[in-house]
């Protein structure tokens, strides 16, 4: 009888455990930076005034899997870029000096493009910039 009780307890225990296979398929991780990458047409407003358009190339930051490099920011030239931290659809540009101009700002991705709002300070004046990036 003791043996039957042990077998019964073991059978009940086995029935209470779920299978080790997951019910939902495991989704592969998507690089949240992907949507920002590539060539962009930029329309810029400085202190509320439309100043013109230029091209920008956005690439991954090879040294940090959470950042991108926004090229030709403030139309400072193709080799002038800033690092931007990506968190979902948001961008954060911490203060970075490019050719004597300090760039600081934020951005948001929506509708197949993104908008950067940043300041550009050269030491004597500060400009407020809204740059719209579209393909």
**Residue 16 within a domain:** no
What's the N-to-C CA distance of the chain in angstroms? 77
**Residue 17 within a domain:** no
The Cα angle at residue 135 between residues 62 and 57, in degrees rounded to 5: 30
Q: What share of the chain is helix, strand, coil (3-state, %, to 5)?
A: 15, 50, 35
Q: Range of 126's domain?
A: 34-134
Give dist(CA 66, CA 33) in Å, integer. Answer: 7
The tally of domains found in the chain comes to 1
Q: Specify the pTM.
A: 0.78
Residue 14 contacts by C-beta under 8 Å, 6 or more apart in sequence? none
**Residue 29 within a domain:** no
Name the DSSP class of 4.
Answer: H
Q: What does each of the 135 residues of the chain score in pLDDT, given as a tens digit?
A: 556 556 656 655 555 555 555 567 777 688 999 999 999 999 999 999 999 999 999 999 999 999 999 999 999 998 899 999 999 999 999 999 999 999 999 999 999 999 999 999 999 999 999 999 999
**Residue 28 within a domain:** no
> For the domain that residue 117 is a member of, what is the CATH number?
2.40.128.420
**Residue 63 within a domain:** yes
Q: Which helix (H) or strand (E) holds 106?
A: strand 101-110
**Residue 56 within a domain:** yes
Instruction: Tokens for 4, please give them.
Output: 């039957």
**Residue 96 within a domain:** yes
- C-alpha separations of 89 from 42, 59, 81, 96 in Å: 18, 16, 20, 21
**How many other C-beta atoms lie within 10 A of the C-beta of residue 96?**
14
What backbone phi and psi angles, to 5 degrees, belong to 81?
-140, 160
**Residue 84 within a domain:** yes
């Amino acid at each position: 009888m003791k043996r039957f009780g042990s077998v019964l307890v073991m059978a009940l225990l086995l029935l209470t455990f779920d299978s080790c296979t997951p019910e939902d398929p495991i989704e592969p991780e998507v690089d949240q930076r992907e949507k920002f990458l590539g060539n962009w047409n930029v329309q810029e407003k400085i202190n509320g005034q439309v100043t013109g358009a230029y091209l920008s190339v956005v690439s991954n930051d090879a040294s940090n899997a959470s950042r991108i490099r926004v090229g030709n920011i403030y139309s400072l030239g193709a080799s002038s870029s800033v690092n931007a931290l990506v968190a979902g659809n948001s961008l954060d540009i911490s203060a970075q000096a490019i050719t004597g101009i300090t760039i600081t700002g934020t951005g948001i991705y929506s509708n197949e493009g993104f908008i950067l709002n940043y300041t550009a300070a050269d030491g004597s004046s500060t400009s407020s910039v809204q740059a719209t990036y579209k393909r």
